[in-house]
């Protein structure tokens, strides 16, 4: 059953696949708001959208071995037993900008443009508090906390595996600065079905694939998830990996977690007419890094990278990007989970210009000038170019 329960406005989305439904908004619309309106938030689905009622929902927590601590939570219990938090965080698919790698050489996967990123205010409870109440050791020096993993699996079917699943290190889940949420709400409303109703994981700063929707089971296990999406997908395979030999590389390559440094020009946009020449123009876009690292700087070039101008950055708040409610401001974090929007007014955009952007993060990371091809087409963060000759 893939009956759409949510707004899937065709004038908002570039639909990349109908069944399962995969769609991204066009860039100028994407960055009109710091918090992406829910009906514009990109949708990435590996299978049909489950239809789960709040009354029937339950979440099972298991710990491998030792007879297995096992706890089953109803939605009402999850919502009433734990403190509620709000965290502003962007989700970005590791396949964002896959089209840029596909232009270099054919890749495997949904051919996404640069719109599989969106920024929302998520509300829910902290995963670490639910784990603690489920009997999982939460002392960071406990051997389990140091090496085990939190394996999430979802309700519903999916195309590549029996069900959708993924894992993060237990250490990440337990770290109070990481803000890993079990979310019930998005932008002040219950999660829409397309985004995981009634409960999903939100792991800020980490590739979208780990933020499992329609969460059914959490298993604390000594190794990573055995899911297709952990073991075989979402890895940067070396350039010699291809359709016939890729299995040879799976074991040696890490499953992606933190995102890399990214920035994209949203206006001008190749899908729109070029702005008139000899007129000042506001170049805009988004930028974000992985692991909550702050975006320090975004530069724009109008001559394909020979000369650059700095841009003005807009962050949701200056010190702590994640803390929205006054009572939460003293919680220990300085993480930048939200995206940064940026703009610069240039005197004009010549008709033969190639508009480029590149960003730096607090760790000194910047974007590569050219695409780094890999078979699965993930983590493309090369300089973003808008060729004015390609505008409508």
Choices 90-98, 191-199, 212-220, 306-314; region in contact with Mo ion by CB under 5 A: 90-98
Task: State the nearest-atom distance from the C-beta of 257 to ligand MTE, in Å.
Answer: 13
Q: Closest residue to Mo ion, Cβ-based? A: 93
93 binds Mo ion per the rule CB under 5 A: yes
Nearer to ligand MTE by Cβ, of 127 and 212: the residue is 212
Restricting to residues 7-46, name those near Mo ion by CB under 5 A: 44
358 binds, among Mo ion, ligand MTE, none (CB under 5 to 8 A by kind): none
Q: Find which of ligand MTE, Mo ion, none residue 206 binds, CB within 5 to 8 Å per kind.
A: none
Nearer Cβ to Mo ion, position 128 or 210? Answer: 210
* Residue closer to ligand MTE, measured from CB, 137 or 291: 291
CA distance 3 to 45: 13
Contact 296/253 with Cβ under 8 angstroms?
no
- 211 or 367: whose CB is closer to ligand MTE? 211
The site that binds Mo ion (CB under 5 A) totals a number of residues, namely: 4
Contacts of 167 (CB under 8 A, 6+ apart): 149, 150, 151, 152, 210, 221, 224, 225, 227, 230, 255
Cβ proximity to Mo ion: between 128 and 213 the closer is 213
Residue given tokens 């808008």 in the structure block: 386
Residue 43 binding partner per list Mo ion, ligand MTE, none, with a CB distance cut-off of 5 to 8 Å that depends on partner kind: ligand MTE
Question: Does 209 help bind Mo ion (rule: CB under 5 A)?
Answer: yes
Q: Which two tokens stand for residue 69?
A: 């601590």
Q: How far is the CB of 312 from ligand MTE (least distance, A)?
A: 28
Given the complex with ligand MTE, which of 44 and 335 has the nearer CB atom?
Answer: 44
Shortest spacing between CB 148 and ligand MTE, in angstroms: 21
Residue 301 or 381 having the CB closest to Mo ion: 381
Taking the complex as a whole, the smallest distance from the CB of residue 135 to ligand MTE amounts, in Å, to: 25
164 binds, among ligand MTE, Mo ion, none (CB under 5 to 8 A by kind): ligand MTE
Exposure of 362 by Cβ count < 10 A (0-12 exposed, 13-18 middle, 19+ buried)?
middle
Are the C-beta atoms of residues 46 and 158 closer than 8 Å to each other? Answer: yes
Cβ distance 162 to 229 under 8 Å? Answer: no
**Nearer to Mo ion by C-beta: 137 or 156?**
156
**Of these partners, Mo ion, ligand MTE, none, which one is at the site of residue 184 (CB under 5 to 8 Å by kind)?**
none
Residue 91: name its binding partner from ligand MTE, Mo ion, none (Cβ under 5 to 8 Å by kind). ligand MTE
Shortest Cβ 158–Mo ion spacing (Å): 12
Burial class (CB in 10 A: 0-12, 13-18, 19+), 369: exposed
What Å distances lie between residue 176 and 89, 117, 160, 182, 290, CA to CA? 15, 24, 33, 14, 17
Task: Tell me how far, at minimum, the Cβ of 121 lies from ligand MTE, in Å.
Answer: 14
Q: Are 110 and 95 in contact (CB under 8 A)?
A: yes
Least separation, in Å, of the C-beta of 91 and Mo ion?
8
Q: What is the binding site for ligand MTE (CB under 6 A)?
A: 41-47, 91, 93, 154, 164, 195, 208-209, 211-214
Tokens 């409610």: give the residue. 325
Please report, as ranges, the residues that interact with Mo ion according to CB under 5 A.
Answer: 44, 93, 208-209
């Amino acid at each position: 059953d893939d009956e759409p329960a949510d707004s899937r406005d065709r004038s908002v989305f570039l639909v990349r696949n109908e069944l399962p439904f995969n769609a991204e908004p066009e860039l100028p619309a994407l960055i009109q708001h710091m918090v992406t309106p829910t009906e514009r938030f990109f949708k990435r689905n590996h299978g049909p959208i489950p239809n789960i009622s709040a009354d029937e929902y339950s979440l099972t927590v298991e710990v491998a071995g030792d007879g297995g601590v096992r706890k089953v939570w109803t939605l009402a219990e999850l919502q009433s037993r734990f403190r509620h938090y709000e965290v502003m965080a962007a989700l970005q698919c590791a396949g964002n900008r896959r089209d840029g790698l596909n232009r270099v050489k054919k890749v495997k996967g949904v051919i996404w443009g640069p719109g599989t990123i969106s920024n929302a205010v998520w509300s829910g409870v902290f995963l670490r508090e639910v784990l603690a109440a489920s009997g999982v050791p939460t002392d960071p020096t406990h051997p389990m906390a140091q090496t085990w993993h939190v394996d999430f699996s979802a309700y519903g079917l999916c195309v590549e595996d029996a069900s959708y699943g993924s894992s993060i290190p237990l250490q990440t889940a337990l770290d109070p600065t990481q803000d890993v949420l079990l979310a019930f709400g998005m932008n002040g409303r219950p999660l829409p079905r397309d985004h995981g109703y009634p409960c999903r994981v939100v792991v800020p700063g980490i590739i979208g694939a780990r933020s499992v929707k329609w969460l059914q089971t959490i298993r604390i296990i000594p190794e990573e998830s055995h899911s297709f999406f952990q073991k075989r997908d979402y890895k940067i395979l070396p350039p010699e990996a291809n359709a016939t030999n890729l299995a040879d590389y799976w074991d040696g390559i890490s499953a992606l977690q933190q995102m890399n440094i990214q920035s994209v020009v949203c206006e001008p946009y190749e899908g729109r007419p070029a702005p008139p020449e000899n007129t000042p123009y506001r170049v805009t876009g988004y930028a974000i890094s992985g692991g909550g690292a702050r975006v320090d700087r975004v530069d724009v070039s109008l001559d394909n990278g020979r000369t650059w101008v700095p841009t003005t950055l807009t962050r949701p708040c200056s010190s702590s990007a994640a803390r929205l409610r006054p009572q939460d401001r003293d919680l220990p974090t300085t993480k930048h989970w939200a995206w940064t929007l940026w703009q610069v007014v240039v005197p004009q955009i010549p008709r033969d210009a190639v508009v480029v952007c590149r960003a730096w993060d607090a760790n000194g990371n910047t974007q590569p000038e050219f695409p780094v091809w890999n078979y699965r087409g993930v983590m493309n963060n090369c300089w973003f170019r808008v060729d004015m000759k390609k505008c409508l």
